[in-house]
Structure 1
Amino acid sequence: MSVSSLRGVLCPLVTPFEDGTVDEESLTTLVDWLVERDIDGVVPCGTTGEFASLGRDEFRTVVETTVEATDGRVPVVTGVAGTDIQTVTDRIEFAASVGCDAVLLTQPYFHTAPTPEGNRQFFETIAESSPLPLVLYNIPACTGQAIAPETVAALADHDGIVGLKDSSGDFDYFLELLRVTDDDFTLLEGYDQHYVSGVHAGSDGGINALSNVVPEVFASIRDEAFAGETEAALEREQAALPDLFGYCMDYGFAAVAKVGLEHRGVIESAEVRPPLTPVPDDAVDDIAELTEHLV
């Protein structure tokens, strides 16, 4: 996989469940459905994929099923977040063994007062032995702090660290990353409503949860944004995404995306695992109606 292939719209896949277990059939259907709708890559076992609620064997099932379903048509960038180097390394080695193209890695979470130097050492230690390229994942709401721009700039010089997904929602932070990294370092916007602004500023696209639900909308936005049709892309983005995004902020990206996918007949169940909870019935109806309107 070339780094340039991590461009456009990559989908952070939900992990379908049915009766408490991973629904491999629905996951395969979802991947195929997204690829047919011109999504540029898939990301299993990320935040939207409820990675923190998956056991070791389930993680492996999700990753292997995803790779088999893509059949080489689009890149697979697997989430491998963890708080210790051995766990992360094991996940990366498995991802490489089944044919993934890259991995997505947060800084360690839970540890109190981690320093930029400590975070740099964590990423570099893993990158030194990784058989796959690393994409950093900045999500301070879940890790307790952002990856400092100076840390990103230092890590961008490492041959094994090829990019970053930013889900902070802080566009000034994203602009700073664009300033302190070279053009060959891939920067992907993870905040759905910043997709077009990111491309206009110089990003390579995004990894966007709502592309699970309305991949057609994201494909159109991508095409217009990269063609320089910024005004049209912004109009489409703002017409389609704010209401759905608002439900995601209220009830969680995984839960809302699964409601939309169940409504569209792509997955069998909108089931989520604790500590996530199902979307309330009245909101389910609203999300279903909104999704229907958008497609």
Structure 2
Amino acid sequence: MSTATLHGVLCPLVTPFENGTVDEESLASLTEWLIDHDIDGVVPCGTTGEFASLSPSEWRTVIEVTTDAADGRVPVVAGVAGTNTERVSEQLEFAASVGADAALLPPPYFHTAPSPKGNLDFFESIADSSPLPIVLYNIPACTGQPIATETVTELANHDAVIGLKDSSGDFDYFLELLRETEDDFSLLEGYDQHFVSGVHAGSNGGINALSNVLPGVFASIRDEAFEGDTERALDIEQSALPQLFGYCLDYGFATVAKVGLVSRGVITSSEVRPPLVSLSDEVRNDIERLVSNVV
């Protein structure tokens, strides 16, 4: 898989639930809808996909349903995660067996590394035998630590490590990685409101939660940004995203995205799993209003 394939807007899919179970039909329909709306790739079982709330069998179901629905039309980057290398390697083997194109891998959580070398060893031990290209996932709010820039630059030399998604919101960190890595290492902005700034600085694009709800808006932002009309791209981004993104930060990306998708008639239920909680009617109504004003 060429790193050039990971370019543009990739969507970290929500995992639709219905009465406590994974809604496979809605997941397949969502994947189809996003492809129809010009999304460049899909990422099942990321943070927005509530991967940490899925059982192992549900995780496998989500990966398989998504790859089947995508049917080779866009890359599928499977979210894998764990605190031991054996479990992560098993996930990688399964994702590869059902046709995923790459994997998104955060550092271990709970017992965080006492030094950058700890995470380097973790990633290298997995990458050495990985059947899939790996995209590193920097999300310190959830893992308790960032992936140090020196760790990223070292891993960028590994044949199996093809890029990084940065959800830290620390744009100085992202700029440093742009300076310190080669052009063939895909750097993807995970902070939705930094998409245009990232492209302007030299990124490959982003993996952005609100693209679940606003794929056409993100496609327009992408097109304007990569064609060099930064001012127009920023106008679209800043008129469409700030309030919705603020709700995502306050209430959770899956929660807000699902409400938006129900309001657009794409999925049938906004159900989330603990520790996420349903929104009040007031907040739900405001999200629905914001979405309808954009689309």
* TM-score (norm: length of structure 1): 0.99
Instruction: Tell me by how many angstroms 1:234 deviates.
Output: 0.5
Match of 2:144, as an amino acid? Answer: G
Q: Please give the alpha-carbon distance, in whole angstroms, between the structure 1 residues aligned to 2:112 and 2:130.
A: 26
Tell me which residue corresponds to 1:243. Answer: 243
Q: Please give the alpha-carbon distance, in whole angstroms, between the structure 2 residues aligned to 1:86 and 1:15.
A: 25
Tell me which residue corresponds to 2:160. Answer: 160
Instruction: Tell me by how many angstroms 1:249 deviates.
Output: 1.0
Tell me which residue corresponds to 2:36. Answer: 36
Tell me which residue corresponds to 1:117. Answer: 117
Match of 1:31, as an amino acid? Answer: T
3-state DSSP of counterpart to 2:225:
helix
Unmatched runs of 5 consecutive residues or more in structure 1: none
After TM superposition, the structure 1 = structure 2 runs for residues 27-176 of structure 1, keeping only pairs within 5 Å, are 27-176=27-176
Instruction: Tell me by how many angstroms 1:168 deviates.
Output: 0.2
Tell me which residue corresponds to 2:280. Answer: 280
Unmatched runs of 5 consecutive residues or more in structure 2: none
3-state DSSP of counterpart to 1:129:
coil
Tell me which residue corresponds to 1:224. Answer: 224
Tell me which residue corresponds to 1:186. Answer: 186
Write out the 4+ residue segments of structure 1 that deviate beyond 3 Å after TM superposition: none
The number of residues matched between the two structures is 295
Q: Please give the alpha-carbon distance, in whole angstroms, between the structure 1 residues aligned to 2:114 and 2:39.
A: 36
Q: Please give the alpha-carbon distance, in whole angstroms, between the structure 2 residues aligned to 1:55 and 1:17.
A: 13
Tell me which residue corresponds to 2:14. Answer: 14
Instruction: Tell me by how many angstroms 1:114 deviates.
Output: 3.0
Q: Please give the alpha-carbon distance, in whole angstroms, between the structure 2 residues aligned to 1:179 and 1:150.
A: 12
Q: Please give the alpha-carbon distance, in whole angstroms, between the structure 1 residues aligned to 2:102 and 2:270.
A: 28
Tell me which residue corresponds to 1:257. Answer: 257
Instruction: Tell me by how many angstroms 1:223 deviates.
Output: 0.1
CA root-mean-square deviation: 0.6
* TM-score (norm: length of structure 2): 0.99
Q: Please give the alpha-carbon distance, in whole angstroms, between the structure 1 residues aligned to 2:155 and 2:98.
A: 26
Tell me which residue corresponds to 1:199. Answer: 199
Match of 1:2, as an amino acid? Answer: S
Instruction: Tell me by how many angstroms 1:113 deviates.
Output: 4.7
